[in-house]
Every structure is written in C-alpha cells, then in structure tokens.
C-alpha cells in the first residue's frame, strides 16, 4: 500500500463541498424548497453549521477513498486512470445511492427529492475521483 495523498483528500473534500453548494443552491435549491417547504424537515440549522457538517462528512468519504487509492497504488492508477472514476462512481452507485433510496422509501420521501439527492452523491463522488486523478498528475 502506498502513502495516502492527504492534500488530495483535503482538496477533494473541498471540491465536493463546492459541488454541494452549487447542487443545493442554484441547481436544485428551489426544487428542494418546493418539496420540503420553508421549514424543511424540522428545525433548520444555521448555514455555517450545515456547511461544516457537510464538509466533515465529505472529508470522511474523501479520506476513505484516499486510502482505497493508496491501496491500489499510483503505478496501477497511472496505467488504468479510469479506475479513479470507476471506483468512486461504483461506491456511490453500489453503496451510497441504494442506502439513500431505501431510507427515502421508508420515510416516504418523493422520487423527485430522492433523484436530486442521489444525483448529488454520484456527482460529488465523481468529483472526488476527478480531484485525485488531477492531483496525481501534478
């Protein structure tokens, strides 16, 4: 196992946080507001708290993905760069999104909101993969 690129872990989490800000802001912020109403799903946290907790969750995901890439090794990833996207997209598609869908079905959350949130996790994990790919090229 090679060393974890901790700088890439941090930059990937920040990149995914930027995706979150765009995804739940200009892209789908209004759609979520229409679904959940102005009060959301109960008590609304302060925006800085939501941002901080989102960053922590994305940092944990990014760190685990960094460990996964370290395990595969830079030599293998250099020869097979599609693994960055196959592995991160596969994690989102095989674990994160099914768990989200099961949870949302049990909570009776609409298909529209489910697809918005599932799309976010797929795009954010692919962004993490892209960040690791680009930082490996530096």
Please list the rounded mean pLDDT of every run of 10 residues in the chain (138 residues): 92 97 92 74 69 96 97 96 98 98 95 96 98 96
pLDDT number for residue 30:
86
Length of the chain: 138
CA distance 85 to 107: 31
Phi, psi dihedrals of residue 76, rounded to the nearest 5°: -65, -45
> 137 near 29, Cβ under 8 Å?
no
pLDDT number for residue 129:
98
What pTM was computed for the model? 0.91
CA distance 109 to 94: 20
C-alpha distances out from residue 114 to 6, 65, 117, 119, Å: 32, 24, 5, 8
pLDDT number for residue 34:
82
pLDDT number for residue 44:
61
- In the chain, how many H helices and how many E strands? 7, 0
CA distance 23 to 122: 12
What b/e sequence results for 120-135 when a residue is b if at least 16 CB atoms lie within 10 Å of its CB, and e otherwise? bbbbbbbbbbbbbbee
> 117 near 100, Cβ under 8 Å?
yes
Question: Cα dihedral sign for 67, 98, 128, 23?
Answer: negative
pLDDT number for residue 45:
63
């Amino acid at each position: 196992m090679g060393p974890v690129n901790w700088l890439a872990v941090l930059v990937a989490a920040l990149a995914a946080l930027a995706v979150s800000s765009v995804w739940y802001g200009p892209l789908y912020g209004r759609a979520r507001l229409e679904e959940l109403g102005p009060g959301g799903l109960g008590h609304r946290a302060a925006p800085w708290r939501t941002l901080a907790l989102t960053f922590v969750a994305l940092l944990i995901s990014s760190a685990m993905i960094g460990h996964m890439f370290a395990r595969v090794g830079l030599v293998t990833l250099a020869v097979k760069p599609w693994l960055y996207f196959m592995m991160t997209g596969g994690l989102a598609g095989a674990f994160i999104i099914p768990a989200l869908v099961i949870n949302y079905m049990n909570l009776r959350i609409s298909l529209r909101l489910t697809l918005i949130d599932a799309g976010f996790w797929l795009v954010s994990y692919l962004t993490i993969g892209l960040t690791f790919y680009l930082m490996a090229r530096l």
